[in-house]
Amino acid sequence: MFETIEKEIIKNKQFLTDVLDGLSSDSKHISSKYFYDKKGDAIFQQIMHMDEYYLTNAELDIFESHKSEIARIFFPEQQPFNLIEFGAGDGMKTKVLLKELLNHEIPFDYVPIDISQNALDQLHQSLTKEMPDLSFKGIQGDYFEVLNKLKESNGRRNVVLFLGSNIGNFTNDEAQSFTSNISNKLNPGDLLFIGVDLKKDPKKILLAYNDSKGITAEFNYNLLRRINRELGGNFDVEQFEHHPTYDPVTGECKSALLSKIEQEVELDGQTFHFAEWEPIHTEISRKYSLKQLHQLAKKSGFEVKKDLFDANQYFVDSIWEIV
Ligand SMILES: C[S@@+](CC[C@H](N)C(=O)[O-])C[C@H]1O[C@@H](n2cnc3c(N)ncnc32)[C@H](O)[C@@H]1O
């Protein structure tokens, strides 16, 4: 009980420090990892069901069409393995694969990692009900922190899932550092299974982050509401506007919150001044070409074993191996 409270206080301290740093910067920014509180998790589930957010259906299509092939690739030597998933969320697509592995009585531990304790708790609850035989070993934490603990594994083969184009939330340097870090922790024969949104019609991409019902806007506003709720900020959310942009040259889809007026915001005894239309950058969702993705694999020490596409070729699940 006390341990849980202590963990909560440390998490909130980090959240406050990061927000204060981001708002003090010349170009204001807040990390997208703070989108995911209980409210943010629920809004993201709505986003996944939107017609405009094609990413979920595309990746689900890949899982449904290739599940037996994927299971064979994950379990070639009939040895028990660890299925580690970074940023598991509600596990909607992963469940297709988990069922397939369980149906074939393949022995594995499922190790979902997520910054949101709420997401992990809900995932555990639903999996206990839907797949009571599954061995579930959830870990709460930031990707980069948990990565450092991966070394303490149980000697089994590791298969790492990183789905939903979560890699797109990283800058180029962060993506390189993340995949290299994973590769350093893995052993020959281990796999990274990475789901990535591909470059396509810019109009289609932009709509996924700026839907007609305003759900993606609400996701962005919730970040300010969360700062007010958890850190005692006084953002007047009505005075900010959701502003996504997509640049086909860099492949970067960026979301920002623009201050509609000149205003001041108080947080933790500090005052932050906003000029009219000044942005707070909140999210990057980078789109890749297949070539860029393969370059990333190579530079991080992986060999591309297989690329699986959805019927529209919007999305790729690329399977990388340590050789
Ligand atoms: C966009 S959702 C995708 C969920 C799932 N992978 C899917 O494809 O549907 C991102 C998930 O990653 C988690 N997440 C975001 N940033 C994180 C970080 N830095 N460390 C750990 N988890 C993170 C969020 O809490 C959320 O559940």
pLDDT at res. 152: 62
Distance between CA atoms of residues 311 and 305, nearest Å: 20
Distance 85 CA to ligand 1 centre (A): 10
Tell me: do 68 and 154 sit in the same domain: yes
Tell me: do 214 and 96 sit in the same domain: no
**Containing domain of residue 122, as a range?**
54-198+288-321
Distance 263 CA to ligand 1 centre (A): 32
* Pocket lining: 116 vs ligand 1, CB cutoff 6 Å: yes
Distance 161 CA to ligand 1 centre (A): 12
Distance between CA atoms of residues 162 and 273, nearest Å: 38
Tell me: do 217 and 174 sit in the same domain: no
pLDDT of 71 strictly over 90: yes
Residue with CA closest to ligand 1 atom 13: 87
Task: Place 79 in a pLDDT band, splitting at 50, 70 and 90.
Answer: confident
Residue with CA closest to ligand 1 atom 26: 89
* Pocket lining: 166 vs ligand 1, CB cutoff 6 Å: yes
**Count of domains in the chain?**
2
pLDDT digits (tens, 9 = 90+) for 256-273: 999 999 999 999 999 999
Residue with CA closest to ligand 1 atom 27: 89
Distance between CA atoms of residues 50 and 113, nearest Å: 25
Q: Is residue 47 part of a domain?
A: no
pLDDT digits (tens, 9 = 90+) for 165-206: 999 999 999 999 999 999 999 999 999 999 999 999 999 999
Q: What is the mean pLDDT of residues 33-54?
A: 97
pLDDT at res. 259: 98
Tell me: do 241 and 163 sit in the same domain: no
β partners of residue 63: none
Distance between CA atoms of residues 308 and 299, nearest Å: 21
Q: Is residue 164 part of a domain?
A: yes
Q: Please, what is the Cα angle at 192 between 191 and 198, to 5 degrees?
A: 140
Tell me: do 123 and 98 sit in the same domain: yes
Q: Is residue 40 part of a domain?
A: no
Distance between CA atoms of residues 234 and 28, nearest Å: 17
* Pocket lining: 119 vs ligand 1, CB cutoff 6 Å: yes
Q: Residue 317's closest CA among 113, 159, 164?
A: 164
* % of the chain at pLDDT higher than 70: 96
Tell me: do 121 and 165 sit in the same domain: yes
pLDDT at res. 147: 84
* Residue 144's CATH number: 3.40.50.150
Q: What is the mean pLDDT of residues 26-50?
A: 98
DSSP state of 282: E
pLDDT digits (tens, 9 = 90+) for 190-200: 999 999 999 99
Kindly give, in sequence order, each residue whose CB lies less than 8 Å from that of residue 174, ignoring residues fewer than 6 positions away: none
* Spatial contact of 209 and 284, defined as CB atoms under 8 Å apart: no
Atom of ligand 1 nearest to the CA of 85: 6
pLDDT of 151 strictly over 70: no
Token pair recorded at residue 82: 């660890």
* Spatial contact of 183 and 191, defined as CB atoms under 8 Å apart: no
Tell me: do 293 and 269 sit in the same domain: no
270 phi and psi angles, rounded to 5 deg = -110, 150
Token pair recorded at residue 278: 């000044």
Tell me: do 260 and 313 sit in the same domain: no
Atom of ligand 1 nearest to the CA of 36: 25
Distance 89 CA to ligand 1 centre (A): 5
Helix, strand or coil, per DSSP, at residue 70: helix
Could you tell me the pTM of the whole model?
Answer: 0.95
pLDDT digits (tens, 9 = 90+) for 101-126: 999 999 999 999 999 999 999 999 99
β partners of residue 112: 85
Tell me: do 158 and 64 sit in the same domain: yes
DSSP state of 242: E
* Pocket lining: 122 vs ligand 1, CB cutoff 6 Å: no
272 phi and psi angles, rounded to 5 deg = -115, 125
* Pocket lining: 296 vs ligand 1, CB cutoff 6 Å: no
* Spatial contact of 195 and 317, defined as CB atoms under 8 Å apart: yes
Token pair recorded at residue 312: 């529209």
* Pocket lining: 143 vs ligand 1, CB cutoff 6 Å: yes
Tell me: do 86 and 169 sit in the same domain: yes
CA 120 → CA 17, 116, 138, distances in Å?
24, 6, 7
pLDDT at res. 149: 76
Q: Is residue 117 part of a domain?
A: yes
